[in-house]
Structure 1
Amino acid sequence: MTMTSTQRLACALTAGAALVAGLAGCVPLVIGGAAVAGAGMVATDRRTSGAQLDDQGIELRGAARVRDIANDDMNVTVISFNRQVLLVGTVGNEGDRRRVEDSVSRVDNVRSVVNEITVGPGSTLPQRSNDAFITGKVKASLLDQKDIFANAFKVVTERGVVYLMGIATRREVDRATDITRGVPGVQKVVRVVEVVSDADLAATQARQGGTGAPPPPVQDGASSSSARVPLPPMAPLPSTGGTAAPAPAGSGVTTTPVR
Structure 2
Amino acid sequence: MSGAVSKREHAIRAQELAFAAPGVREVINELTIDGDPGVQRYSQDLWITTQLRTRMIGDPNVASVNYNIETHRGVVHLIGLARSDAELERVTGIAASIPGVTQVVSHVLSITDPRRQRA
Structure 2 length normalisation: TM-score?
0.85
Aligned pair partner of 2:96 in 174, 181, 188: 181
Query: Taking CA–CA contacts closer than 8 Å with sequence separation of 6 or more, which of the two structures ends up with the larger relative contact order?
Result: 2
Aligned to 1:88: 2
Q: Distance in 1 between matches of 2:3 and 2:77?
A: 12
Aligned counterparts, 1:35-54, within 5 A: none
Q: Does 1:228 align with 2:110?
A: no
**What is the root-mean-square deviation of aligned Cα atoms in Å?**
1.7
Aligned to 1:166: 80
Q: What secondary structure, in the 3-state scheme, does the structure 1 residue paired with 2:79 have? A: strand
Structure 1: give runs of 5+ residues left out of the alignment.
Answer: 1-86, 198-225, 230-259
Q: Does 1:137 align with 2:51?
A: yes
Q: What secondary structure, in the 3-state scheme, does the structure 2 residue paired with 1:102 have? A: helix
Q: Distance in 2 between matches of 1:160 and 1:126?
A: 12
Deviation at 1:111, TM superposition (A): 2.5
Kindly indicate whether the alpha-carbon contact (under 8 Å) linking 2:2 and 2:77 is maintained by their aligned counterparts in 1.
no
Aligned to 2:61: 147
Aligned to 1:115: 29
Q: Rg: which structure is higher?
A: 1
Kindly indicate whether the alpha-carbon contact (under 8 Å) linking 1:91 and 1:120 is maintained by their aligned counterparts in 2.
yes
Deviation at 1:92, TM superposition (A): 3.0
Q: Could you tell me the percent identity over the aligned residues?
A: 28
Task: Give the total of aligned pairs.
Answer: 115
Deviation at 1:118, TM superposition (A): 0.8
Structure 2: give runs of 5+ residues left out of the alignment.
Answer: none
Query: 1:34-73 CA deviation, whole Å, 9 max, x = no partner?
Result: xxxxxxxxxxxxxxxxxxxxxxxxxxxxxxxxxxxxxxxx
- The structure 1 segments of at least 4 consecutive aligned residues displaced by more than 3 Å after TM superposition are none
Q: Distance in 2 between matches of 1:92 and 1:183?
A: 28
Structure 1 residues 148 and 92: CA distance shift in structure 2, 3 A: closer
Quick one: which amino acid aligns to residue 183 of structure 1? Answer: I
Kindly indicate whether the alpha-carbon contact (under 8 Å) linking 2:2 and 2:70 is maintained by their aligned counterparts in 1.
no
